[in-house]
Chain A
């Protein structure tokens, strides 16, 4: 079986398995619930906050910072490390397909599932606020939905690559994932806008991608990202390139570990 065919077959099967996971249903309910909360909140908006502010706040903090990273990390770890932990990976490793195809197939499945779920979630939330015309004095800003949907899709692919790297390398990938999301990103990601080390996180290029896409007023920018007080448009740089580099580097590392590790050996314990 060719590399491409094997990757697609693994993607298909992993997607089937993930869709049967109860967490999929839980996240689906959560996304609908967030949209409902958004709709209810839109009826009683905090003073001076427009529809775009409310939407950006909820989409970024609830979806982009909490739900998407954790969900993608969970699914990525389930798809890759779940097999390793219960040793059912043996059935796949015994087939005449490369381990690289197996890992890429699993990564693609997780990334596709999460990007679809959260793109739909972001659009759903947007519709919840768009249904309140009084929140949009200058008209509904549909470009916000497009920008957030794009950011969610990119974020899902990036977090999926982090998840498969940790799952391939570590025995406790969720712990390392938590450190990455809660510790590293919050610490480095909130450094001053000029700090070059911020490109090591996913939140930073995502934030710049959104700043480029939605062109927020200074107040919204400050509310969303307090560390961006000194932000200037020329600091946007190339967020998609940065995200692509993160995805590529983490995937290469994940492939390196996955193809070279003897997961059944005592040395790993």
Chain B
């Protein structure tokens, strides 16, 4: 057996090639199509995976981890087919299921997983203890898993995914069960991993937390990759989609009167110092707004109300 895996901090900087590649991947369960023609790549970065329940997020994660085989296309982990042992050695996966080996202690479980990665018994125990300590389970690592709270169980799942220092990390709803401080710490840790060249693919329903840590997002809906890119870029691609804007003004009534003739404005709401406008998405609004602002000094600030990931996702999936 080989010795202890290197600590996370010693990973090399971003490799030139993709750590995780989906090439025209489709997955069917009999007649049911779970994923259709998905293609993307993850390098040393944090990529968010967003989709509603049943969109295909978990299927995509399981394909990436080699637990499922694609019906069509290819999934590569560090250049190797995801179903091979070489690929699994480079990959860490934190599944969303809340099942563990209940009678083992947290440390025993993580150490066992490390043993299957080839670590010696002593190295596995040491490394498992270190990782659990880093994740805040230091005091509880000798208790049985069945005695853990939901948050502690989540940390054990994370520990088994991180312990062998993978090059690509798949996190399926990792924030579930964590308190706000732990969520913040995990987000920081995930960003640190990406800075060290580790690719992270993370799915979550807590969209604003994803937004704070991801470099890119993959929006998946009904088994199809709907959009891919930075949140702001995605929002920019949504031409023709309605969106909302808050225009700060000292004279909101006058501003509203000036906006009424514009065809792009489909709705307005007045407040004491602002006008919230709903836009149809037709081009030309910002040009007209600039003219209004220049001519009558009615607008002091324009704040987009729906550049958030949740809004983008909401627009895309209707």
Contacts and interface: CB of A to CB of B under 8 A. Distances in A.
Interface of A: 1, 5-6, 9-10, 13, 17, 20, 86-88, 90-98, 262, 264-267
A91 B113 contact: yes
A91 B117 CA distance: 12
A98 B85 contact: yes
B29 A265 contact: yes
Q: Is the interface of B mostly helix, strand, loop or mixed?
A: loop
B305 interface: no
A138 to B, nearest CB: 50
Contacts of A265: 29, 68
Given A91-B113, A97-B85, A266-B30, A17 B103 contact: yes
A90 B29 contact: no
8 contacts: A1-B1, A17-B103, A20-B103, A90-B97, A266-B32, A266-B34, A267-B29, A267-B30
B148 interface: no
Contacts of B103: 17, 20
Contacts of B118: 1, 96
Interface in B31-47: 32, 34
B101 A88 contact: yes
B293 interface: no
A90 B66 CA distance: 10
Contacts of B115: 1, 9
B28 to A, nearest CB: 9
B131 to A, nearest CB: 15
Contact of B99 (A17, A86, A92, A98): A86
B91 interface: yes
A164 to B, nearest CB: 19
A87 B65 CA distance: 14
Contacts of B93: 90, 94
A94 B117 CA distance: 10
A266 B101 CA distance: 24
Contacts of B85: 96-98
B89 interface: yes
A97 B164 CA distance: 14
Contacts of B253: none
Given A17-B101, A95-B116, 16 more contacts: A9-B112, A17-B103, A86-B99, A88-B97, A88-B100, A90-B65, A90-B95, A93-B66, A93-B67, A94-B65, A95-B117, A96-B86, A96-B88, A96-B118, A264-B67, A265-B29
A267 B113 CA distance: 28
Nearest to A90: B95
B243 interface: no
A89 to B, nearest CB: 9
B67 A95 contact: no
B62 A264 contact: yes
A5 B97 contact: no
Given A94-B91, A94-B93, A262-B68, A9 B100 contact: no
A93 B93 CA distance: 11
Contacts of A98: 85
B88 A5 contact: no
Given A90-B95, A94-B67, A5 B1 contact: yes
Contacts of B112: 9, 13
Nearest to A268: B29
A53 to B, nearest CB: 43
A6 B68 contact: no
Nearest to B2: A1
A97 to B, nearest CB: 5
A266 B93 CA distance: 21
Contacts of B104: 17
B160 interface: yes
Contacts of B66: 93-94
